[in-house]
Chain A
Amino acid sequence: MKTLKLILIFCLLFLFTLSFAQTKGSFKVIVHKSNSNSSLNKVEISKLFLKKTTRWKGSKQKVEPVDLVDTSPVRENFSTEIHNKKVGAIKAYWQKLIFSGRRVPPPEKKTDIDVLKYVHENTGAIGYVSNSANLKNYDVKILKVE
């Protein structure tokens, strides 16, 4: 019985550690409350952040993506999950576009609060924040990732 209890405790501890590790850089995608879109798939979201798509479906309003800084673990996770690439590869993508006079990258914000403020102030904005970010007091909503 003692052995069983120990195994159970060990399993719980393992699951707790695992869930903590997964939560560490996890994110939620946010848009302005007035945005008519409620869900998008990963490919569509990636295109918005890479400015391959520059107008919102339906409203035709300009898309204004915002990134977290490249040292953020949330950005690393977002990049891997959504773009299927590391942040370094995305940086290289932007360098090519900047210096060929095609596009400039989204602004980079240091904290979740900075991103929330940006999306709150720009109706065409899309951003991402850590799962623990508090969205209260901001005109933003979570975009479901399909």
Chain B
Amino acid sequence: MKNTKPALLILFCLFLFTSISFSQTADKLVINGYAGWGYGKSDENNYLLGTENGKYANYNLALAIASNPADRVNIFSSFDLQRRHEDNITGTYSSSQPDKILMKINYIFAEYTFNDAVRFRVGKVKAPFGLYTETFNVGTTRPFFTLPTSIYASPGLVTQSYLGVGITGSYYFENNWGFQYDVYGGELNLERYADFTNPTFPAIVDTRLPDMFGLRLICHTGLDGLNIGVSGYMGAPEFFYNGVKKTNYFISGKHMILDFHLEYLTDAISLRSEYERIQKNDGKDVEVDGYYVEAAYKLFGHWQAAALYDKQNYIVHDPVFSQLIALNPSTVKHEEWAFGLNYWFTPNFVIKFSYHMVDGNLFAKPKDIMAAMINNEFEEKTNLLLVGTQFSF
């Protein structure tokens, strides 16, 4: 908790600064934000926000500031405060370390608009990947409190922003068809995670993907609300175990991540699905297939019922790593059903209840993961109850 005060102080100063600026240039600066709090209780393993004893301390706050200093120039920035384990973003992994309040810059970039079809971006830019990376922690844009784990909790593969340059744009035809694209390059700093594969050498892993290249293409179909897209990025990662660069690591070769998505949104219906294919070292070492289907329906204006099916297949070809996994095959398995009921006071304020049933320990981890690894004792089934609120302004 040592870093709480400086983080709060920085946030306060930012807020003060932006508030003053806002009052001075009301038409040039727009401030928005989002926040949330959730309680999670599981029957066995730690999963998402939940622990066996129940966990209340899950909350986050973020401010997004957009300014328009000149006709074709926009500046976008966002700052985030979260209470979570320092070693991972999803809270999926158990840790003996207490939670911390962490502050980070989600993105800060400048954009020059040549026209609607060509906009140049530079800085720490929101990573355009899949359906949700651009709104990763914004709970009011989705039916469940958390994102589907098969795609968005893969250790060392999820990122919210890239450092570099990109071009984005959109074009719409008269008949409502249209497309939106992103092409970008630079470095990805993937989300930090804890690696317990080797019980004698647990490690906090930072992954960087320098000189990477990525793209996303979304097609807005003539059927209003139906969008289909593909996205992906590739590069050769560098791994830092407990801060030290790991050389000759078996999965250091070229990574390629591909994602196909489909989204259908109406006033009442929200239907989303994604399929993700990951190949580490050209697929010679690790292959991952993840997919989910998420459906929600609004009833009587305010109530929303939701359901989710989520699965990931994680295949390791490396012989040494395979032997370790063979001892605990559930550590590479994830299959989940979830059901939710939400009450939307307004589109900006929602209370969410959800119940999750998980098979496998790829993301649902024992409280004492080291002991479980050494003794080969994993509880494969996990049930989780989540209650929380999310809001934006």
Interface stretch of the complex, out of A9-17, A20-28, A51-59, A135-143: A51-59
A37 within 8 A of B: no
Q: What chain A residues lie within 8 Å of B64 (beta carbons)?
A: 98-99, 101
**In whole Å, how far is B294's beta carbon from the nearest beta carbon of chain A?**
15
Say yes or no: B113 contacts A54, CB within 8 Å.
Answer: yes
Interface-facing stretch out of B135-143, B205-213, B236-244: B135-143
Interface residues in B170-186 by Cβ distance below 8 A to A read 170, 172, 174, 176, 178
A101 touches B267 (CB 8 A): no
Residue A91 contacts which of B78, B113, B134, B347 (CB distance < 8 angstroms)?
A: B347
Contacts A53-B116, A89-B267 given; does A95 touch B76 at CB 8 Å: no
List of A residues within 8 angstroms of B176 by Cβ: 43
Contact of A55 among B107, B116, B126, B178 (CB under 8 A): B116
Chain B contacts with A in 130-185, Cβ cutoff 8 A:
134-135, 138, 140-141, 168, 170, 172, 174, 176, 178
Is B32 within 8 A of A98, CB to CB?
A: yes
Binary B-proximity of A20-45 (CB < 8 A = 1, otherwise 0): 00000000000000000000000100
Residue in B140, B178, B224 whose beta carbon sits within 8 Å of that of A84 in the complex: B224
List B residues 97-122 near A (Cβ within 8 Å): 107, 109, 113, 115-116
**Complex Cα distance A91/B392, Å?**
11
Contact of A53 among B135, B140, B172, B267 (CB under 8 A): B172
Beyond A54-B116, A98-B32, whether A62 also contacts B71 by CB under 8 A is: yes
Candidates A53, A54, A101; contact of B66 at CB < 8 Å: A101
Minimum CB–CB distance for A94 against chain B, Å: 9
Residue of A nearest to B29 (CB): A104
In the complex, A86 Cα to B141 Cα: how many Å?
Answer: 16
Q: Give complex CA distance A99, B174 in Å.
A: 28
Complex Cα spacing A24 to B368, Å: 63
Instruction: Indicate if the CB atoms of A99 and B134 lie closer than 8 Å.
Output: yes
Q: Residues of A contacting B32 with CB < 8 Å?
A: 98-99, 104
Is residue B34 contacting chain A, with contact meaning CB distance below 8 A?
yes
Residues of A within 8 A of B27 (CB): 107
Binary B-proximity of A47-89 (CB < 8 A = 1, otherwise 0): 1000011110000001000000000000000000000111011
Q: Decide: A95 and B140 in contact? CB cutoff 8 A.
A: yes
A121 to B113, CA, bound (A): 24
A101 and B110 alpha carbons, distance in the complex (Å): 10
User: Does B125 sit within 8 A of A, measured CB to CB?
Assistant: yes
Which of B34, B178, B224, B265 is close to A52, meaning CB atoms less than 8 Å apart?
A: B178
- What distance in Å separates the Cβ of A63 from its nearest Cβ neighbour in chain B? 10
CB closest chain-A residue, reference B302: A88
Interface presence of B257 (CB below 8 A):
no
Q: Chain A residues with Cβ under 8 A from B172's Cβ?
A: 47, 52-53
A89 contacts B266, C-beta separation under 8 Å: yes
Compute how far the CA of A76 lies from the CA of B140 in the bound complex, rounded to whole angstroms: 21
**Is the C-beta of A92 less than 8 angstroms from some C-beta in chain B?**
yes
Instruction: Check A19 for interface membership: any CB of B closer than 8 A.
Output: no
With a cutoff of 8 Å between Cβ atoms, the chain B residues found around residue A3 in the complex are none
Residues of B within 8 A of A99 (CB): 32, 34, 64, 78, 134-135, 138, 141, 392
Question: In the complex, which residue of chain A has the Cβ closest to the Cβ of B72?
Answer: A62
In the bound complex, do residue B170 and residue A92 qualify as a contact, i.e. CB atoms below 8 Å apart? no
- What are the residues of chain B within 8 A of A54 when measuring CB–CB? 113, 116
In the complex, the answer to whether A88 meets B113 with C-beta atoms within 8 Å is no
Question: Is the beta-carbon distance between A89 and B66 smaller than 8 angstroms?
Answer: no
- Asked if B66 contacts A100 (CB within 8 A), the reply is no
| Contact status A101-B126, CB under 8 Å | yes
On chain A, the residues within 8 Å of B138 by CB distance are 95-96, 99
Q: Are A96 and B126 in contact (CB under 8 A)?
A: no
Distance A9 CA – B361 CA, assembled complex (angstroms): 74
Smallest distance from the beta carbon of B18 to chain A beta carbons, Å? 14
Query: How far apart sit A102 and B140, CA to CA, in the bound complex (Å)?
Result: 17
Query: A86–B347 Cα gap in the complex (Å)?
Result: 11
Q: Which among A47, A55, A91, A104 has the greatest number of chain B C-beta atoms within 10 A?
A: A104
Q: Determine if B30 is an interface residue (Cβ-Cβ < 8 Å).
A: yes
Q: Can you list 19 A-B contacts with CB-CB less than 8 angstroms, sorted by A residue number? A: A62-B71, A85-B224, A85-B267, A88-B344, A92-B140, A92-B347, A95-B392, A96-B141, A98-B30, A99-B32, A99-B138, A100-B126, A100-B134, A101-B76, A101-B78, A101-B107, A101-B125, A102-B168, A104-B66
Q: A91-B348, A95-B141, A99-B135 are in contact. List 17 more A-B contacts (CB 8 A).
A: A43-B176, A52-B116, A55-B116, A62-B71, A84-B224, A85-B266, A88-B267, A88-B346, A95-B138, A96-B138, A96-B141, A98-B32, A99-B64, A99-B134, A101-B78, A101-B126, A102-B134
B interface list, Cβ under 8 A from A: 27, 30, 32, 34, 64, 66, 71, 76, 78, 107, 109, 113, 115-116, 125-126, 128, 134-135, 138, 140-141, 168, 170, 172, 174, 176, 178, 224, 265-267, 344, 346-348, 392
